[in-house]
């Protein structure tokens, strides 16, 4: 199995390439133009500075073959205990347990940082395996925005899944609600 470790700035070239493949060759993300290294670096820097974890999967020879990152679901401060995951495993490395290891790492670290709910937005059609994957990691379906997206000549529906972290809503957030407002 690859090493799962926190992402570092030096990983951004590989992360940019993995994401670009998903932008150009799939509808998993509704970005239509692949962001360049500079903009991916800016997004990573802003999210990690706001307290969102990022992890990479590093193969034995040092190649980055997948990543997962957290971000705010909405920027308003009341959302500060919710985190949205974005996860991409390189083609050729999928269905080997790497996505599971990455998302488990994000869930564990997000829980430790005080987040209480994790949200996944998945594009349909085409996202069936991501739905199965998130179900395997404890997410349940909560709703959809039908035909809300347009990409590559097709209307797309965003389905949303969610899972509680730690005590979820069973207690008030601890430590007291003093986390900085998350910003994307």
Binding site for ligand COA (CB under 6 A): 22, 28, 87-89, 94-100, 120, 122, 129-130, 132-133, 136
If the CB atoms of residues 64 and 114 are measured against ligand COA, the closer one turns out to be: 64
* CB 86 to ligand COA: min, Å: 7
Query: Residue with the closest Cβ to ligand COA?
Result: 99
* CB 152 to ligand COA: min, Å: 15
If the CB atoms of residues 90 and 114 are measured against ligand COA, the closer one turns out to be: 90
If the CB atoms of residues 25 and 77 are measured against ligand COA, the closer one turns out to be: 25
3 CB-near residues (< 8 Å, 6+ apart): 57, 58
* CB 130 to ligand COA: min, Å: 4
Strands (E), the chain: 3-6, 54-58, 64-71, 82-89, 117-124, 140-151, 154-164
If the CB atoms of residues 124 and 179 are measured against ligand COA, the closer one turns out to be: 124
Distance CA 184, CA 73 (A): 8
- At residue 56, φ and ψ (nearest 5 deg) are -125, 160
* CB 132 to ligand COA: min, Å: 3
User: Which DSSP string corresponds to 23-45?
Assistant: HHH-SSS--SS---HHHHHHHHH
Distance CA 17, CA 117 (A): 29
């Amino acid at each position: 199995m690859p090493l799962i470790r926190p992402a570092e700035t030096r990983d951004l070239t590989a992360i940019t390439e993995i994401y670009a493949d998903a932008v150009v060759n799939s509808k998993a993300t509704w970005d239509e133009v692949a962001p360049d290294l500079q903009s991916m670096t800016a997004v990573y820097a802003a999210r990690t500075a706001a307290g969102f974890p990022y992890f990479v999967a590093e193969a034995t020879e040092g190649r980055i073959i997948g990543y997962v990152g957290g971000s705010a679901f909405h920027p308003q401060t009341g959302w500060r205990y919710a985190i949205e995951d974005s996860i991409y495993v390189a083609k050729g490395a999928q269905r080997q347990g790497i996505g599971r290891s990455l998302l488990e790492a994000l869930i564990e670290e997000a829980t430790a940082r005080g987040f209480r709910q994790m949200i996944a937005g998945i594009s349909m059609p085409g996202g069936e395996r991501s739905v199965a994957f998130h179900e395997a990691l404890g997410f349940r379906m909560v709703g959809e925005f039908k035909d809300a997206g347009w990409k590559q000549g097709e209307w797309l529906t965003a389905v949303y899944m969610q899972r509680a972290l730690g005590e979820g809503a069973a207690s008030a957030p601890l430590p007291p609600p003093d986390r900085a407002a998350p910003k994307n």
